[in-house]
Structure 1
Amino acid sequence: MSEPDTFVLPDGFVFTVRSVGRTITEGDFSAMTNLTWTFEEIHTNRIHVEQTMHHERMLAGACIVAFALGIATPAIKPPLKERGVRLIALVGYEGIRFRSPLFPGDTIYVDSALLRILRTSKSDRGVICFHDAVSDHEGRVIAEYERRALCDVSVARLDGRSTL
């Protein structure tokens, strides 16, 4: 049984989508680091990082989330549209956890699983909640979080009226 403020999804309903991969190039890394002003040496000074940590510069967390949103959204839109759900706007993130560093040259993917659709005060609107896991080409989990977006559910098949 669902919470009173949540749309009822059909029994056994599963919605998971994997994004296309995206290799984070040196250009991507530099552009995002400069754009977000994350100038700490762990992000900008390869020689310092090699001498002190024996590895490579790592991308700042905010940049990882931005890249992930960019590849996850196009992956979830078509299957949602087929089910009568249209994304409107990002509402926010909850529980962001960074599990592993992201380095220049890594290729990332986002696995998105629909958790629930919350009701709003407008019957044709909902807040769709996804669990996103960002992983690299080796299967290492880079980050996990819950992503929420406002959506139009006016033509969606929810609350058992049909199958979603």
Structure 2
Amino acid sequence: MIVEQYFEDYEIGFTRRTMGRTITEADIVIHAGQTGDFFPHHMDAEWCATQDFKQRVAHGTLILSVGVGMTATTINPHAMSYGYDKVRFVKPVFIGDTITVEAKITEKRDHPKRATHGIVIEQVTVTKQTGEAALVCEHIYLVARRQATA
């Protein structure tokens, strides 16, 4: 779906929520193959059984990727991702956990060098089915203005 929003259209406090997605063993195996991260924390069930969590843990970067992907439901031709800040892996996600994502606009500001664009900050929280936050970060958008600032 295409949604055309300029910088001026974004409202602080606007919140989006996703449906759930269950993390599978296949997700972890595929992510390990894509990234080369075959650490035993993710891949070795027997070793993990001797550790604190007693089971394999999904890669934090997997949860970031899946969580961000879950929020990518529209295309805005006037905005693009400008990066992510303050990424924190708060709680582990295990095989069989179902995650949902909340994305809330928390800040708007001028771009320091581009009068034609502004910066929009979206607080992203990935939550497990237990209600615990698993990951938090700030998604930064570069968004075109209707009119350049002076």
Provide the TM-score with structure 2 as the length reference. 0.80
Amino acid in structure 2 at the alignment position of 1:102: V
* Structure 1 unaligned blocks of 5 or more: 1-5, 156-164
1:135 aligns with 2:135: no
1:61-89 alpha-carbon deviations (Å, 9 max, x no partner): 11111111100121xx48xx6xxx8432x
Question: Using a 3 Å threshold, how does the CA distance of structure 1 residues 107 and 86 change in structure 2: closer, same or farther?
Answer: farther
Q: Which is helix-richer, 1 or 2?
A: 1
Shift of 1:150: 1.6
Which residue, out of 107, 110, 114, partners 1:116? 107
Shift of 1:14: 2.4
Partner of 2:82: 91
Secondary structure of 1:97 counterpart: strand
Shift of 1:105: 1.2
Partner of 1:147: 139
Shift of 1:8: 10
CA RMSD of aligned residues (A): 2.5
Count, aligned residues: 140
Partner of 2:57: 58
Identity %: 24
Contact 1:7 1:119 in 2 (8 A): no
Partner of 1:68: 67
Amino acid in structure 1 at the alignment position of 2:104: A
Contact 1:16 1:113 in 2 (8 A): yes
Provide the TM-score with structure 1 as the length reference. 0.74
Which residue, out of 97, 101, 108, partners 1:106? 97
Runs of 4+ in structure 1 over 6 Å off: 6-10
* Structure 2 unaligned blocks of 5 or more: 1-6
Question: Using a 3 Å threshold, how does the CA distance of structure 1 residues 21 and 30 change in structure 2: closer, same or farther?
Answer: same
1:37-52 to 2 correspondences below 5 Å:
37-52=36-51
